[in-house]
Every structure is written in structure tokens, then in C-alpha cells.
Structure 1
Amino acid sequence: MYAYGLLLLAILSEVFGSSMLKATNGFKKLLPSIGVVLGYGIAFFTLSLSLKSLPLGTAYAIWAGVGTALTAIVGTVVYKERFNLKKVFGLLFIISGVVLLNFSGAHS
């Protein structure tokens, strides 16, 4: 369970770092740029710690899939980006892929 807590922290840190990228204005704004570096630094550090217990494929699938979905939601809510049916289906496919990968690893 500890490894999944680290993975969750990795996901949230990556989403924060990714979300700050847009606010950096091409790394011209200092505080958002620091947020990017800190977010990604914490994300990769905690992801690496979670990999001590979790299989690489499973952890990365969860990290990438959930991170992508949450980042898309942040883009819609914070940056007022469009959220349409194509994005909904794309996110559903990503989430379905993560679920399938997890089931394939658990039953192999």
C-alpha cells in the first residue's frame, strides 16, 4: 500500500508540474518555472521509490494514464480549454488501457 501512496504522490506532482508548464510562458516566468522543476523532480523521485515494490509496466501505466486524465481535467477547469466528446472518448480509452494492463499483470 505504501508503494501506491508514493505512486499517487508521483501522479499529483507530475500533474502539478505539467499544469505549471503552461503558466511559465516559455520559461519566462520564474515561479511557475520553479513549480515545473519541483513538480517533475518530486514526481520522478517518488515514482522511482514506488518501483521498488511495483512492476514497472503497471506503475508507469497508472502514472501516465491517470496523470494524462487529471492534466486534461486541469486544462479544462483552470485554463478553460475545450472539453468535447473526442476528449472524453480518448480519456476513456486511456483509462481502459490502464485497467487492462493492471488486470493482465495481476493474472499472469
Structure 2
Amino acid sequence: MKPTLFHYGALGAAIICELIGTTLLQKSEQFTRFAPTLFMILFFAGSFFFLSHALKAIPIGVAYAVWAGAGIVLTAVIGVTVFRQTLDVAAIAGIAMIVGGVVMVNAFSNSAMH
């Protein structure tokens, strides 16, 4: 089955849910705050739900690489902007390599089924 806009949309929704869930994980303060903990669980469940729909047409390795890579990059951005955390040069270089890997898979790999 060829990936469609629906499958990539599901992957995008999975990434957004994962990003919100991870942000709420920080806000849950080690599961001591009920509301952020509850919503974190719901958003992580939603992330896996949408990821499962993306996997109907996108190979698992490609979908997971995009999901995890985007999650790492966007979570780092949230960490810096929302939680005022800092990234050193090694962290930025590592994140840049992750972005490069995701771009490489999507642009040049036949596994991505474009």
C-alpha cells in the first residue's frame, strides 16, 4: 500500500501527541500532579494510536525514525523555550545528526516508499 496524505497526517498527529505527552511528563513532577499525569497518559496513548495508523502504509523503520527524530528535536526546542533548559555544543551536534538521518531516509531511501 502506498502512503497517502492520511498516513503522513497520522504520523504528524502521533508526533504532536508525543510532544505534548513528553511536555506533560515534565509538568507531572514525577507523577505527583494528577492532571498533567492523566493527560500525559492520554496523549501518549493517542500517539501510539496515530502511529499504528501510519504503520498501515509507512514501513515501521521509517515511521519510527521520523516519529522519534521529530520528537527528539521538538522536545529539545520545548526544553529550551518553555523550561529554559540549555543545550551544549555536543547536544546540538547530536540533534543535528538526528535531523540529517531523518532527512537522508526520507530523501534518498527507497524504504520510505515515496
| TM bin (shorter chain) | over 0.9
Is there any run of 5+ residues in structure 2 with no aligned partner, and where? none
Match of 1:89 in 2: 93
Cα RMSD (Å): 1.3
> By how many angstroms is 1:38 displaced?
1.1
- Report how far residue 54 of structure 1 moved: 0.7
Question: 2: distance between equivalents of 1:98 and 1:27?
Answer: 32
Distance 1:106 1:30, change over 3 A: closer
**What is the letter of the counterpart of residue 92 of structure 1?**
A
- Tell me if structure 1 keeps the 8 A contact 2:69–2:99: yes
Aligned residues: 107
**Structure 1 runs of 4+ with >3 Å offset:** none
Task: State the identity %.
Answer: 37
The Cα offsets for residues 21-51 of structure 1, whole Å up to 9 and x where unpaired, read as: 1111110101110121011010000000110
For the Cα contact (< 8 Å) 2:59–2:112, is it kept in 1? no
Mapped partners of 2:112, 2:11: distance in 1: 17
* Code of the aligned partner of 1:20: L
Shift of 1:76: 0.6
Instruction: Mark the CA change 1:66 to 1:3 in structure 2 (over 3 Å): closer, same or farther.
Output: same
- Counterpart of 1:58 in structure 2 is 62
Deviations 1:79-100, CA, capped at 9 Å, x for gaps: 1000332222111100111122
| SS of equivalent residue, structure 1 residue 17 | helix
SS of residue paired to 2:14: helix
TM-score, normalising length: structure 2: 0.88
Q: Does 1:15 align with 2:47?
A: no
Quick check: 2:62–2:112 contact (8 Å CA) kept in 1? Answer: no
Q: Does 1:76 align with 2:76?
A: no
